[in-house]
Structure 1
Amino acid sequence: MQSIKVKRAGGLENIYLSKDTESSAPVKGEVKVKILASSLNYHDYLVADGHLPLEQERVLLSDGAGVVVAVGQGVTEFKVGDHVVSTFFPQWLSGSPSHAVGDFAKTPGDGIDGMAAEYVTRDASAFTVAPKGWSHLEASTITTAGLTAWRALVSDGNLKAGETIVTLGTGGVSLAALQIGKMFGAKVIVTSSSDEKLQSAKALGADHIINYKTNPEWAKDVLAITDGKGAEHIIEVGGPGTLAQSVESVAVGGNIYLIGVLTGFEGNLPTAQLMFKQTRLQGLLVGSRSQQQDYVKALEANNVRPVIDKVFDYGSLADAFRYQVSGSHFGKICVQW
């Protein structure tokens, strides 16, 4: 069986194709899945390039979609031939996050071997059904990026029709947020440094677009668009470099979901403005298995498909990561065998 691993030290030059890995037959409570596609996330890059330390070499990637090829004793949720997609926190089945999901100890592609393998055998709870009618490439995008946006806006944010969302950038989480927003009848404002990407976002249904490179104080534009009220929901993927503008953009009593830290891990926090606006600033890491199941149902009920920018072979995973960090993509980058 083939898999794509990275050596313990990390580094894109240390990613290699392994043919010595075997996937065991499923025992009680397990399923064996033939993995056909994965999608890349920033967390995957941090692992692959050595920014997140590993205790040993690791099969990469947290997201995987494929077909069940065998089921162990007692498994009733899945049968051979079912199309499934992995979960980011296989131990987080439902409810609020707890210490059990406070790190990545059981996350595929980090604490345990990931989905860049031809076959994986895991507890049945490590998968959910994939959206009906979706390709494996499409399904592979929901595990991390799609579910993160769903949890932020719907599970935690209680998104309502007519509310306003600001999404920063045009990566997987941000575009999923745009699509979810339109599913719920929300107004969506998309920011980017690329006019070309902004026009693509407009074609996807964005109500307003802002180039933050030419408008560095883009909060003023958000306030103008919302008649001074601000946005109820901010999908914050930048971190300290963009947080001040997000705080200025948010409505009184609104929500800022801190999902990414692309501009760094430390910075100044406008605490007074947060307090006066009574803003909820929420750090957020993906979601639970039950939230993923809810998301799948919503996707099936709406004519929505993920945006896939480019597809690589698993054997070219290092090149896929290089393309990812170039920032050229619009939507998700996927890999397939």
Structure 2
Amino acid sequence: MPPVIDPGFDPGFPKTHTFTFGSYNNLVLHEVPLGAPKPNEVLVKTHAVSLQFRDLMIANQTYPFGATWNLVPCSDMAGEIISVGADVTQWKVGDRVSASFMLDKLHDEQTPEIINSALGGASQGVLTEYRTFPAHSLVAFPAHFTYEEASTLPVAALTAYNAFVGGFSPVKAGDTILVLGTGGVSMFALQFAVTSGAICIVLSSSDEKLKVAMKLGAKHAINYKTTPTWDEEVLKLTKGVGVDRVIEVAGNATLARSIASVKINGSIDIIGAVGGGSDSPIDIVLPSITKGFYLRGIYVGSLVQFKTMNKLIEANPETTHPVIDKVFDFTEAKAAFKYFETQAHVGKVVIKF
């Protein structure tokens, strides 16, 4: 059986973005030939891509894992299947899908080979009009989502979801969650907290961003610019007990205060390093002994988790809706990166095709 092609499909020479490392300003838009998918692949027309802090790190050569030279950047996409390979039975032309961040991470297992299947790094990314994917790497996204909304799911949403349901114990109603920042992962973490019945404290440097968080259901908001000892404020809000879980996206710059904020036998989910480094040594050993807290590093999630997360989103459409700050056109990719770099956004920045 030959690949199934939509009769009206004539892509010609589709456009793609690539860059050499050093800066996102090295992005180049050019045309490439397009071939039919292999027997176990599908060809997807990209409709939207969302940006991650990882994309900036890769461009600036500060990302700790390897990346392909002359890289097609970005990992988060949503698109439409326009062709399926001869051996593919689970997908058909017209299906709306997102790709898993790590194409081969189907379950919790994570190996060097699986890590190297991560899009926009060791594997070519998704900032391109068309791309083939292994059939096993795709997930149908919630039917009520637009392509722009669905493009926010593969990393930001799934990372937050993994923090809530994976690891040592799932978040439950009545737990207190401290969410650092108001970026993509943080906003999904807030929404999943609200859906779970947890109490959420949100940290930001902007009162305007905190207003958005409060509208989404945050119980408390702390501006770390006006309250630099925000860990002390967290302890006041929790009557000296501390929070059950910290969603730590800033890294070493805030880790010491996150440790001070977590309760005995609580947990800290290490998700990112948007805050950069820290000039002060961080004492992890003694606090971890005296508090007995869990420290868990999270590198997105699995395809199975992606599917179960989508069920949660479909069951709670009002409280799990992606927060999109700004949408750029495909030809404005550099401008999208530049805006994203300012960290002025709340939620996600999306590139629309």
Q: Please indicate, yes or no, whether the TM-score normalized by the shorter chain is above 0.5.
A: yes
Task: Please tell me whether residue 286 in structure 1 is matched to residue 300 in structure 2.
Answer: yes
Task: Please tell me whether residue 68 in structure 1 is matched to residue 81 in structure 2.
Answer: yes
Residue 122 of structure 2: which of 111, 115, 121 is its match? Answer: 111
2:19 touches 2:27 (CA, 8 Å); kept in 1? yes
1:164 maps to what in 2?
A: 176
Residue 277 of structure 1: which of 287, 291, 305 is its match? Answer: 291
User: Take 1:210 and 1:336, find their aligned partners in 2: how far apart are those partners?
Assistant: 33
Letter in 1 for 2:17: I
Q: 1:55 offset after TM fit, Å?
A: 4.3
Residue 239 of structure 1: which of 244, 251, 256 is its match? Answer: 251
3-state DSSP of counterpart to 1:64: strand
Unaligned runs of 5+ in 1: none
> What do the CA deviations read for 1:4-40 (whole angstroms, capped 9, x no partner)?
1112x33222101111x23321222211110000000
Name the Cα RMSD after superposition: 1.5
Structural mapping, 1:200-279, within 5 Å: 200-265=212-277, 267-279=281-293
Task: Please tell me whether residue 137 in structure 1 is matched to residue 144 in structure 2.
Answer: no
1:122 maps to what in 2?
A: 133
> What do the CA deviations read for 1:106-131 (whole angstroms, capped 9, x no partner)?
21111121111111111012211111
User: Take 2:246 and 2:163, find their aligned partners in 1: how far apart are those partners?
Assistant: 9
> What do the CA deviations read for 1:28-61 (whole angstroms, capped 9, x no partner)?
2211110000000001111223434644201111
Unaligned runs of 5+ in 2: 1-13
Q: Structure 1 residues 37 and 55 mapped into 2: Cα distance closer, same or farther (>3 Å)? A: closer
> What do the CA deviations read for 1:129-185 (whole angstroms, capped 9, x no partner)?
111110000000010111000001112341111101100010000000000001111
2:3 maps to what in 1?
A: none
2:338 maps to what in 1?
A: 322
Letter in 1 for 2:327: V
Letter in 1 for 2:283: L
Give the total of aligned pairs: 333
User: Take 2:313 and 2:238, find their aligned partners in 1: how far apart are those partners?
Assistant: 28
2:67 touches 2:123 (CA, 8 Å); kept in 1? no
1:4 touches 1:315 (CA, 8 Å); kept in 2? no
3-state DSSP of counterpart to 1:59: coil
3-state DSSP of counterpart to 1:58: coil
User: Take 1:199 and 1:99, find their aligned partners in 2: how far apart are those partners?
Assistant: 41
1:56 maps to what in 2?
A: 69
User: Take 1:50 and 1:278, find their aligned partners in 2: how far apart are those partners?
Assistant: 36
